[in-house]
Amino acid sequence: MKLTNRAVEMTCNLVLNEREIEMLGYLAGFGADNIADAIDTKLISQFQKEEWEKLWSDLRAELERTASHYRDVRAVFAGQKRAVEPVKEKP
């Protein structure tokens, strides 16, 4: 048997604290196109600008979701927000 198509996907998890998430989110907020252009012209030419742009766009979206989650969790533990709205009993 001969394989004609080989594809491998890998999922990597970063362990970041809240400050690191905010820092990377700020950087990603600079603009995926701007970051991709800077990396492509000044740092490395091994990967295409479009690849860097997609990576930073995806990273920004994930960082924004995570930062929002941190804020929500902190608000719940501080008593400023409810994790789940109470269920109203039917009469």
What one-character DSSP code corresponds to residue 80?
S
Structure tokens at 61: 């979206």
Please list, residue by residue across 15-26, b when 16 or more beta carbons sit within 10 angstroms of its beta carbon and e when fewer do.
Answer: eeeeeebeebbe
N-terminal to C-terminal alpha carbon distance within the chain: 68
What pLDDT, on the 0 to 100 scale, is given for residue 24?
A: 84
What pLDDT, on the 0 to 100 scale, is given for residue 2?
A: 63
What pLDDT, on the 0 to 100 scale, is given for residue 29?
A: 78
CA distance 72 to 64: 12
What pLDDT, on the 0 to 100 scale, is given for residue 8?
A: 66
CA distance 37 to 27: 14
Per-residue tens of pLDDT for the chain, all 91 residues: 566 667 767 777 888 888 888 888 888 777 778 888 888 787 777 778 788 888 888 888 888 888 888 888 888 888 888 877 778 877 7
Q: What is the pTM of this model?
A: 0.60
